[in-house]
Amino acid sequence: MKLLQLKTIVPLLVVGSLLGWILVTSLPPRNSTPTTITKNGITVGIEKTRYTKVENITFWVENNRNNKIFLRSPCPWHIEHKKDDKWEVSYYPGCAALTVVVYLPPGGTKTWTWDQHRYPGRIDPGDYRVVLYVARERFYLPFEIVWSESSY
């Protein structure tokens, strides 16, 4: 009876392990491709969705319209951190307060980089998002900050 059970269980374990290995190896790494969102002819994107504490976060806006679009300042973005299921502002760039309207021509792209600094100190690991304001539209680009590569 025990031999019959082993003959049944062992092949199931082998097949299950093989299928699990195929599934895991066929999935792309969580941070391998940029995330982009397109709305009303405006595309925004973030370089990847997971960063270590030492990496710069890079994101952009691209004007796919046939006319110029406006940015309400040279830095129309801020960073929010999810804390207790609520989003809180973690960082505003210094130029966000400027009341200078910046125009982006058709086909134009503007890129920003955030070095994970805030005043005072650095950011803790967790769930974050870039909030971008472009031409009366608001975009959210989620990402995660982890301690190190081994946290993947």
CATH number at residue 114: 2.60.40.1930
**21 in any annotated domain:** no
% helix, strand, coil for the chain, step of 5: 20, 45, 35
Compute the residue count for the chain. Answer: 152
Q: Do the Cβ atoms of 66 and 106 come closer than 8 Å? A: yes
Rounded Cα–Cα distance for residues 79 and 114 (Å): 9
Residue 9: inside a domain, yes or no? no
Residue 19: inside a domain: no
pLDDT of residue 139: 97
Spatial separation of the C-alpha atoms in residues 138 and 29, rounded to whole Å: 28
Query: Residue 69, class by beta-carbon neighbours within 10 Å (0-12 exposed, 13-18 middle, 19+ buried)?
Result: buried
pLDDT tens digit string along 30-81?
A: 545 679 999 999 999 999 999 998 899 999 999 999 999 999 888 899 999 9
Residue 8 covered by a domain: no
Residue 25: the pLDDT is: 35
* 62: containing domain: 35-151
Domain membership flag for residue 132? yes
Please report whether residue 27 resides in a domain.
no
Residue 45: inside a domain, yes or no?
Answer: yes
Count of alpha carbons within 13 Å of 33, Cβ hemisphere only? Answer: 5
Lowest mean pLDDT among 38-42, 80-84, 122-126, 137-141: 122-126
- 123, 88 contact by CB (below 8 A): no
Distance, in Å, from the CA atom of 13 to the CA atom of 144, rounded to the nearest integer, reads: 34
**Would you place residue 2 in the very low, low, confident or very high pLDDT band (cuts 50, 70, 90)?**
low
- Whether pLDDT at 111 is above 50: yes
Residue 41 domain-assigned (yes or no):
yes
Please write the tens of the pLDDT for every residue from 8-23. 555 544 444 443 433 3
The pair of three-digit structure tokens given for residue 47, joined into one six-digit string: 């370089």
pLDDT digits (tens, 9 = 90+) for 73-101: 888 999 999 999 999 999 988 775 567 88
Q: How many domains does the chain have?
A: 1
- What is the rounded distance in angstroms from the CA atom of residue 103 to the CA atom of residue 70? 4
